[in-house]
A and B are shown apart, each in its own frame.
Chain A
Amino acid sequence: MASGPARVVFTSGFAARYTNGVREFDVWASNMRQVIKAMDDMFPGLGEHLEEETTLAINGEYHETGYFQPVPPGAEVFFIPRIEGG
């Protein structure tokens, strides 16, 4: 089991729009609420964009972006544009 902060990763397009092009961040968090809050603290308003525009992958597992998902130590938390099927 990995330990340490979660590695938060954005797509280049998302990063260009909202995080001055920086794609990766280390965040100490045990759930997604804490991840979103930490990112919103760094970039005020970013939390709303994350909730509205992204799908989440925690260690490759896809989820809708929400507060309740647990974040294991050392997890890779990837925000990607939301996917919609047919």
Chain B
Amino acid sequence: MNDTAIVTDSVKRFKWVGTRPIRPDGIPKVTGRAMYGADLKLPGMIYGKVLRSPHAHARILSIDTSAAEKLPGVKAVMTAADLPAQKFDYIGPERVAVNFWHVTRNIMAREKVYYEGHAVAAVAAISNSIAEEAMALIKVEYEVLPHVIDVDEAMAEDAPLLFEDMITRGITPAPTKPSNISKRLEFSMGDVEKGFAEADVIVEHEFKTAAVHQAYIEPHSAIAKYEADGQCEIWSSSQGHFAMRALTAQIIGAQLGDLRVTPAEIGGGFGGKTVTYLEPVAATLSKKSGLPVRLMMSREEVFRASGPTSGASMWVKIGVKNDGTIVAADGIFKFQAGAFPGSPVMNGCLCAYAPYDIPNQRAVGYDVVSNRPKAAAYRAPGSPISAFAVESVLDMCAQKIGMDPLAIRQKNACRIGTPTLSGPKHAHAGYLETVEALMKHPAYQVKLGPNQGRGVASGYWFNGGGESSATLQINADGTVLIATGSPDIGGSRASMAIMTAETLGIDYSQVRAIVADTASVGYTHVTGGSRVTFATGTAVVNATKTAIKILCERAAMIWGVDPEGVIWDDGFAKPAGSNVGDFKPLSLKEIAGKAAATGGPITTSAGVNAGGQAPGFATQFCDVEVDPETGKVTILRFVAAQDVGRAIHPSYVEGQIHGGIAQGIGWALSEEYIYNTKGLLDNPGFLDYRCPVASDLPMLDAVLVEVPNPTHPYGAKGVGEVCICPPMAAIANAIEAATGKRLYELPMSPPKVLEALSA
């Protein structure tokens, strides 16, 4: 990779922050010894399987499990009747307003199946083959119902209804007729009509994006061991074992204290492992059988039954003056929620124009159910979808007024104090710096050949903060253990160890970073929302600072002076001044060796609800070549500038950016769910659902722009999500530059490109 770093501040350099030590989990992973969800085996463990709906939409008339229960080797069979009823209520935050009436029905169908692959029953048996045989003995009588897949068709007046009593929220007065529209949202600022009246050029168009899967390599898996005393242990692969504990407890009707969840190593999540599918089922089968139960999805099950992100249908209109000033932006964003309400349409609305200073803005969103698996989060959920439309239209505006696409973004770039559609004014800089980093990039001046084109796009993501915990232990030999509750998806063990070593002033090799289970460290929210380095990192630094205070107190005791007379400097306790006395500095190891004599083990914990996270800004350009005979688009070059605050471990920051680009390229060019006329998924596997592989990708050039976040001890900003926002529009804009033809629908696969070329 040709990655580069641009540092915009001149504060002091660090000893470990910004270096690239080997990750603590590297060797187990490359030698195949890391324990993923499917690797763990427990004594007496049995095997679970889930029976899934063969229909896109059907009423369940009856389920007869008697024959399966009688099969020798079968230890438990369950249906939704084994789970407690849940109240119909949208609980909690808007975007993730969890309605457990829906959640429990997604775990296991009750009155109806809402999509092909919807779980209907589950069995646990002494072998996988017996479990499969038992599944075939379960008799389910269905009344097949009309189905609807596409979001626009689902919004039609005569569309088959998934929920006969669903009244659209967010409309006053409330509609009198049910529909598949779960919710309508509207955000606006300024006077949009007046803004368009001032525009010299107005561009508007409709766009469509396909639902795409997070395509983590490791399928979902979970093991549960339910004891007779009501205590249950769960091992699972997820982005948050505390979240899995909370969701499972609610679904099975247990107390949080009765569940202990241990995180397995995780083979990718990208948002899709923030929700539960298997843990409550495994726990219920274990409770019924009295044995540990393992459940694991096949790849087909992952595609058919776990969340992709939404596909969408959108309309965007932007007005600009001839000098490039954007005066108004308007958009309608209709997102597929899947079978149950809850798409990321609100995020799509709020992020749509966020990089820009536009006085008049409006975004209207619709959350729409259809007969597809329930949508789940996927990197910057919602933002990449609206960015595809907005960044395409902005490119069209720039073209109409003859302005360079980076120049129009530079002219309208948001700054500190710029109002946003979500309400608050921007409190952090960083966007303009990404645009200007690309303007200065030598590759932006490279001349392109025939059938080649260059496209630019930007993206915005809020980034997260919130609750995290860390526990620090100092061992007698001076090594340090830092435990957090954040599953390590993107190298967080390394960044936690770096921040611990930096704060203590000791060598990185003296720190061990682990991910602890729900009984061994305090509550920690999911590894998602680009929050871990910021929020969990803050907890780590706080725990380390408390440890330093104790180390100074212990040194004071050793020297027989007041604790205020001791300072911590570069890994040593030192006298604060010559008046304290002439003492040889004490290393952490020396103090640790005296721990018993000075008060016992040195251990600290910190819990934070971290706020003040800075958003993520990204601007990218790519060069493509379009084969006019086949329609194949080859990515020649991809340069991605991103404001990363400060890169704690630059290699993993670059890795996040590379990954976001690669997934964005797949979203742009090849990935889509293909349904047949019966509403059944025709491509539930990696052969037919085409993710990019290494040979599809050029060298990816990540440009790390460092505008430090003053609210983080080391200036970190979340980096894992915003990188996936620009690629789809950047590629669409490049295709247009190469061919003169614009594509408005994803994926821009060869057949669609050929169709556009021949139009």
Among B214, B417, B462, B609, which residue has its beta carbon within 8 angstroms of that of A85? B462
In the A-B complex, list the 9 residue pairs whose CB atoms are closest, starting with the nearest: A86-B271, A85-B529, A63-B611, A82-B93, A60-B427, A81-B94, A57-B424, A86-B377, A78-B424
Known: A16-B172, A78-B424. A62 touches B462 (CB 8 A): yes
Q: Which positions 28-86 of chain A face chain B at CB distance < 8 Å?
A: 52-57, 59-64, 66, 68-69, 76, 78, 80-86
Among B91, B170, B381, B423, which residue has its beta carbon within 8 angstroms of that of A86? B381
Shortest beta-carbon distance from A53 to chain B in Å? 6
Give the interface segment out of B101-109, B314-322, B463-471.
B463-471
A76 to B422, CA, bound (A): 13
A85 and B427 contacting across the interface, CB-CB below 8 Å: no
Tell me whether B161 is interfacial, beta carbon within 8 Å.
no
Tell me whether B533 is interfacial, beta carbon within 8 Å.
no
Shortest beta-carbon distance from A20 to chain B in Å? 12
A86 to B440, CA, bound (A): 32
Shortest beta-carbon distance from A49 to chain B in Å? 11
A53 and B93 contacting across the interface, CB-CB below 8 Å: yes
* Residues on the B chain within 8 Å of A80, using CB: 350, 422-424
Shortest beta-carbon distance from B237 to chain A in Å? 16
Known: A61-B612, A76-B424. A85 touches B271 (CB 8 A): yes
Among A9, A78, A85, which residue has its beta carbon within 8 angstroms of that of B464? A85
* Residues on the B chain within 8 Å of A12, using CB: 186-188
Number of A-B residue pairs having CB atoms within 8 Å of each other in the complex? 119
**Among A12, A66, A68, A84, which residue has the most Cβ atoms of chain B within 10 A?**
A84
Shortest beta-carbon distance from A35 to chain B in Å? 14
Which B positions have Cβ atoms within 8 angstroms of A?
91-97, 170, 172, 185-188, 214, 270-272, 274, 346-347, 350, 377-381, 416-417, 422-428, 461-467, 528-531, 609, 611-613, 711, 718, 721
Shortest beta-carbon distance from A46 to chain B in Å? 15
Among B172, B272, B274, B529, which residue has its beta carbon within 8 angstroms of that of A83? B529
B95 and A83 contacting across the interface, CB-CB below 8 Å: yes
* Residues on the B chain within 8 Å of A56, using CB: 611
10 further contact pairs, Cβ within 8 A, besides A80-B424, A85-B461, A86-B379: A11-B423, A12-B186, A13-B185, A53-B97, A64-B611, A82-B96, A84-B95, A85-B377, A86-B214, A86-B274
Shortest beta-carbon distance from A85 to chain B in Å? 3
Number of interface residues of A (CB under 8 A): 29
Shortest beta-carbon distance from B92 to chain A in Å? 6
* Residues on the B chain within 8 Å of A62, using CB: 424, 427, 462, 465, 611-613
* Residues on the A chain within 8 Å of B423, using CB: 9, 11, 57, 78, 80
B463 and A52 contacting across the interface, CB-CB below 8 Å: no
* Residues on the B chain within 8 Å of A81, using CB: 93-95, 346
A57 to B186, CA, bound (A): 19
* Residues on the B chain within 8 Å of A11, using CB: 187, 422-423
A86 and B611 contacting across the interface, CB-CB below 8 Å: no
A86 to B384, CA, bound (A): 12
**Among A11, A60, A62, which residue has the most Cβ atoms of chain B within 10 A?**
A62
B184 and chain A: residue at smallest CB distance: A13
* Residues on the A chain within 8 Å of B464, using CB: 83-85
A69 and chain B: residue at smallest CB distance: B611
* Residues on the B chain within 8 Å of A76, using CB: 424-425
Known: A66-B609, A76-B424. A84 touches B467 (CB 8 A): no
Known: A61-B612, A62-B465, A64-B611. A84 touches B424 (CB 8 A): no
Shortest beta-carbon distance from A81 to chain B in Å? 3
A83 to B426, CA, bound (A): 16
A54 and chain B: residue at smallest CB distance: B93
Known: A84-B381, A85-B271. A64 touches B347 (CB 8 A): no
- Listed by A's residue number, 6 A-B pairs whose Cβ atoms lie within 8 Å are A53-B97, A60-B428, A61-B711, A76-B424, A83-B529, A85-B462
**Among A9, A59, A60, which residue has the most Cβ atoms of chain B within 10 A?**
A60
B529 and chain A: residue at smallest CB distance: A85
B418 and chain A: residue at smallest CB distance: A60
A9 to B346, CA, bound (A): 18
B721 and A53 contacting across the interface, CB-CB below 8 Å: no
Shortest beta-carbon distance from B484 to chain A in Å? 18
A14 and chain B: residue at smallest CB distance: B94
A86 and B529 contacting across the interface, CB-CB below 8 Å: yes
A52 to B568, CA, bound (A): 41
Among A53, A61, A84, which residue has its beta carbon within 8 angstroms of that of B611? A61
* Residues on the A chain within 8 Å of B92, using CB: 52-53, 82
